Structure 1
Amino acid sequence: MTRRNVASASLDNENQGRVGIVAGSGSLPLALAMTLRARGEMPYLLLIKDEADPQHYAAFPHETIRITKVGKFLKALARENCRRITLVGPVRRPDLKNLVPDFEGIKLLARITGASRKGDDGLMTAIAAYLKDKGFIVVGVHELASDLLAPAGQLGKIAAKGQDHEDITTGVRIVKAIGSLDIGQAAIIRDGYVLAVEAAEGTDGLLARSAAFAWEKPAGVLVKLSKPGQDLRADMPTIGPDTISGVIAANLRGIAVEAGLTLVIDIAEIVRRADAAGIFVIGLDAKSPE
């Protein structure tokens, strides 16, 4: 990028206001905040109570708010001049019976209750639409920090071999099928056998469940893709160093994700752990992942 382009991008960012990060659990919100800070932007973080740990965000301006206190969210975002908003990190579906929402929260819950019948994608789309109606620009992590996206090709020193490619092809077909039903984003294929598919437990839970089938010989692939038509502003496939630990525990040979459509947290550490364990990591062509 030229100096003129950098200056133009900075001006565009200023015109769009500060980035507000609504942070759930996991390490992705912090990775995004650090990426933005490294390029000269200081985001404001709204930490969802009981999801994001405030101790991890001590170096950033932030506050903790209950998920149902939507009015406080809106006031904080306006006060901090956060026009661009991104929803980052998993959030457990709230128990509607035990919620005490504020007035704005009641309006949002009405949308969420209807959207929940359509699965997690419907839920996140409803939240994004609500924020948009309030005048905010809802953006995805991939729009703010493209350097966190998985590159195409082999990421480390370890290459996939023979049966691995067949398992990847099978995995892509299976994940597309479960994704179209809004079931999950991942599956584990071992020597042509569908060992497990992701459901409500997420990828870490999928790997933990599959560890019970960790045979002596390393084999099998974790395949993770975006769902067809998925709203990437609110939910995007993500892997990190912990994913490698889960793959090791499940005695798999590797991971295949969509290049450009999967967030990779700390790629250097992922590659280091994968190479040390003899695990391959591949970024598949998003247009034709087979």
Structure 2
Amino acid sequence: MASVSPSNSAARRIGIIAGSGSLPLALATTLRSRGETPFLLLVEGEAEVSQYADFPHEVIRITKVGRFLKALARESCTHITLAGPVKRPDLKNLLPDMEGMKLLGRITGAARKGDDGLMRAITSYVKEKGFTVVGVHELASDLLVPLGCLGKIAPTERDNTDITAGVRIVKAVGALDIGQAAIIRDGYVLAVEAAEGTDKLLKRSREFAWDEPAGVLVKLSKPGQELKADMPTIGPDTVTLAAEANLRGIAAEAGFTLVLDLKETLRRANEAGLFVVGLDSQSMGE
């Protein structure tokens, strides 16, 4: 997968539009470790502001498009990335500024096409304003799930059968822009991710848990997904919730899924007896 070379970092400054979760902080920390100084626009009501005290940042409402464009220009940002989920805004209660009004017509129509349509409209608009839009995966390839069995536990033949079935299911629901994950047990679909996200999917599946561990969480990118704005993500909390649902393991698409704190993710998986594997989904589930 293509990436933005660190060798070009002297000629750029990264602006991170930060939503919820730990991904924005992980990305900012990675960039700083390379000698870069990212600027973060913290989406009001989404980003945990106290986490970013050590980074230059500003808190902005997602609808104040003009304000965040001015902030990015003021901070000499050349490249923009979106990191962390942001709830789809309630279009009835928006109070946009002038730039937000210009964008509103686009996102109103795009939102009807699902999350991918919405993200494409936003990234296209930012590009038109002269910024280069890049994906988290292009800035920090070390945050991507590697290929193969990642921990001490390996999937069994039964698990691999569930993984293959899960890939087919997730590709099908992803093509409809429904979700990026499903839980499969003995070939049966226990739950499919929708707008609630993977954490709530796992919490919801706890009521279906067997006495013995069984079932697999399969997580893939959607076909044709706008990866610059939205990528599937797993991390330590995913493992904890999968263990609470008494699953056997997690299978995520290698190279197209972000993993937060791989070391801690695998520590928890090994401790809980769960496998974590990175899939070459292109060779499966056809």
SS of the residue 2:183 aligns to: strand
SS of the residue 1:169 aligns to: helix
Displacement after TM superposition at 1:11 (Å): 5.2
Q: Equivalents in 2 of 1:98, 1:119: separation in Å?
A: 19
- Is 1:187–2:182 an aligned residue pair? yes
SS of the residue 1:233 aligns to: coil
Question: Is the CA contact 1:258–1:289 (under 8 Å) kept in the aligned structure 2?
Answer: no
SS of the residue 1:223 aligns to: strand
Residues 10 and 151 of structure 1: CA distance in aligned 2, closer, same or farther (over 3 Å): closer
- Is 1:222–2:217 an aligned residue pair? yes
Alignment of 1:135-214 (within 5 A): 135-214=130-209
Q: Equivalents in 2 of 1:226, 1:97: separation in Å?
A: 30
Residues 9 and 249 of structure 1: CA distance in aligned 2, closer, same or farther (over 3 Å): closer
Counterpart in the other structure of 1:46? 41
Displacement after TM superposition at 1:62 (Å): 0.4
Question: Is the CA contact 1:253–1:279 (under 8 Å) kept in the aligned structure 2?
Answer: yes
User: How many residue pairs align between the two structures?
Assistant: 282
Structure 2 unaligned segments of length 5 or more: list them. none
- Is 1:243–2:215 an aligned residue pair? no
Counterpart in the other structure of 2:24? 29
Q: Equivalents in 2 of 1:9, 1:254: separation in Å?
A: 34
Q: Equivalents in 1 of 2:273, 2:6: separation in Å?
A: 42
Q: Equivalents in 1 of 2:111, 2:65: separation in Å?
A: 18
Q: TM-score, normalised by structure 1?
A: 0.95
Displacement after TM superposition at 1:9 (Å): 4.7
CA deviations over 1:90-122 (Å, ceiling 9, x no partner)? 111111121111000111111110101110000
Q: Equivalents in 2 of 1:226, 1:100: separation in Å?
A: 32
Q: Equivalents in 2 of 1:81, 1:289: separation in Å?
A: 44
Q: Equivalents in 2 of 1:211, 1:10: separation in Å?
A: 42
Counterpart in the other structure of 2:118? 123
Question: Is the CA contact 1:111–1:126 (under 8 Å) kept in the aligned structure 2?
Answer: yes
Residues 217 and 64 of structure 1: CA distance in aligned 2, closer, same or farther (over 3 Å): same
Equivalent residue letter for 1:149: L
Question: Is the CA contact 2:216–2:249 (under 8 Å) kept in the aligned structure 1?
Answer: yes
Counterpart in the other structure of 2:63? 68
Equivalent residue letter for 1:158: I
- Is 1:97–2:87 an aligned residue pair? no
SS of the residue 2:59 aligns to: strand
Question: Is the CA contact 1:260–1:286 (under 8 Å) kept in the aligned structure 2?
Answer: no
Percent of counterpart pairs with the same letter? 71
Q: Equivalents in 1 of 2:184, 2:96: separation in Å?
A: 43
Displacement after TM superposition at 1:10 (Å): 5.1
CA-based RMSD: 1.2
- Is 1:271–2:266 an aligned residue pair? yes
Equivalent residue letter for 1:263: L
Q: TM-score, normalised by structure 2?
A: 0.97
Equivalent residue letter for 1:191: D
Question: Is the CA contact 2:40–2:56 (under 8 Å) kept in the aligned structure 1?
Answer: yes
Q: After the TM superposition, list the runs of 4 or more consecutive aligned residues in structure 1 that deviate by more than 3 angstroms.
A: 8-11
Q: Equivalents in 2 of 1:9, 1:260: separation in Å?
A: 17
- Is 1:14–2:14 an aligned residue pair? no
Q: Equivalents in 1 of 2:5, 2:243: separation in Å?
A: 41
Equivalent residue letter for 1:198: E
